[in-house]
Amino acid sequence: MTEWVRVPAPAKLNLFLHVLGRRPDGYHALESFFQLIDFNDYLSFSVRDDGQVSRINDVPAVTPEQDLCVRAARLLQSESGVSLGVDIRVEKHLPMGGGLGGGSSDAASTLLALNRLWRLGWSRDRLQQLALRLGADVPVFVFGENAFAQGVGEQLSAITLPQTWYVVLVPDVQVSTVAIFSHPELTRDSKSINMLDFPDVVSFQRSLCQEQVLKTGGTSDDASFTGLGRWLWRNTRNDLQPVVCQRHPQVEEAIKWLGQYAVARMTGSGACVFAAFERENEARYVLSQLPGDMYGVVAQGLAQHPLRDWVGDG
């Protein structure tokens, strides 16, 4: 019997996303907070000894040649010189075109899993460098921690966030990242943030939760939320959100609905929308109110990627 190893590929949220400008290479300079959450795709791997890399199941609208899992496996195989191959089974739960980083996370989990299964022992830095060749969001999943990101998203500084629950709404639309970043009305002149401007990251994250407490039946304790935290929530944003809402009314509708209970914001280039809650029961109460024509999930923030330690020293 063939031995299979099944691993998660978690989603990410951009707690904010600022576009600082367009770089000479055509990419955009960005700043963001990345939060990993336990809303996952799942990947299964079975090592082959004949060097073949194959995806053995169908994924709607994604051919094997386009699949970032297959591309990641072949890139790692080529760069490492390993003679082994792999069969890959993909269980998609994260929406495509949702801003949750599903394809990028799949690629990162492939790199991390095969680093162990092929016994390569590559270091995290080495895998991150390879990950960047697959896409700007792939390195943060290999990095394996919640992070303040700069550059195109590859310059990462670890941040510690308190336990938080999220309601994530999934509008029935796929957003083209390329179309949004090339839109003439996109804001591209946000000022750079210095990490020293917000030393109390816990206060920032707790401020995401503050405005929903009374609406979900809780009690508000303003003393637990610093002025700095509230200032940050009110002074950060997703610069892509106005353009996406203009092109896709479903996203604006989701933001307005979730905004009844909390401060709601789009993640990445959309289409998914999220709000943060301090307690699971608050998040599940909000989800229980969701109209029948909308879809969403409750997800917990992760302290680190489940495969974070699947790296070596080489």
Active site (catalytic) residues: 12, 137
Any residues with CB less than 8 A from the CB of 137 and at least 6 apart, and which?
12, 101, 104, 105, 153, 268
Task: Please give the structure tokens belonging to residue 100.
Answer: 């949750």
Residues in the chain: 314
Rg (CA), the chain: 20
Tokens of 68: 């970032």
- The answer to whether the beta carbons of residues 287 and 280 sit under 8 Å apart is no
Q: Give dist(CA 2, CA 287) in Å, integer.
A: 40
Closest CA to 83 of 128, 106, 53: 53
CA–CA distance, 288 with 37 (Å, rounded to integer): 20
Q: Which position has the token pair 């367009």?
A: 22
CA atoms within 13 A on the CB side of 306: 20
Task: Give the DSSP letter of residue 190.
Answer: P
The pair of three-digit structure tokens given for residue 54, joined into one six-digit string: 């194959």
Q: What's the token pair of residue 5?
A: 């190893």
